[in-house]
Amino acid sequence: MAQPPVPVSLADKLSRFSELWSPKIVAGVNDYEVKLVKVKREFVWHTHEETDELFLVVTGRLTIQLRDGDVVLGPGELFVVPRGVEHCPVAEEETSVLLLEPAGTVNTGDAGGPMTKEPVRLD
């Protein structure tokens, strides 16, 4: 017998991990992954040459540094970084963010390095 459909609780998923800059897959949409990540301090400057990247702030405040100026997001606000645009996310306080990206997108894009994390699925 099939299980009834269950909504994804972002608060529940966020309560299940504490690692920073380590994306967790919480759902899929076609060939895209819906990820949650907790962030604090500065990430790395990077580019995703093949895809746009959607950032939606769940809690806290996120600054997305761009070479042309910063975008500051609060809870419930989103911004799409267009493909090929170099960016660097920064959060002064711990911030929870929902990301929407094609499956297999590397979090550090073209930069690589020690901040690169393979996303883990949270069931």
9 inside domain: no
Domains of the chain: total: 1
Q: Is residue 32 part of a domain?
A: yes
Alpha helices in the chain (DSSP H): 10-15
Tokens of 1: 């017998």
| pLDDT tens for each residue of 36-83 | 999 999 999 999 999 999 999 999 999 999 999 999 999 999 999 999
Q: How far from chain centre, in Å, is Cα 116?
A: 13
Residue 2, domain member (yes or no): no
Domain residues for the domain of 99 are 23-110+117-121
- The mean pLDDT value of the chain amounts to 95
Residue 15 domain-assigned (yes or no): no
Please report, for the domain that includes residue 37, its CATH number: 2.60.120.10
Q: What is the pTM of this model?
A: 0.93
User: Do residues 22 and 37 lie in contact, with contact meaning Cβ atoms separated by under 8 Å?
Assistant: yes
pLDDT 10s digits, 50-60: 999 999 999 99
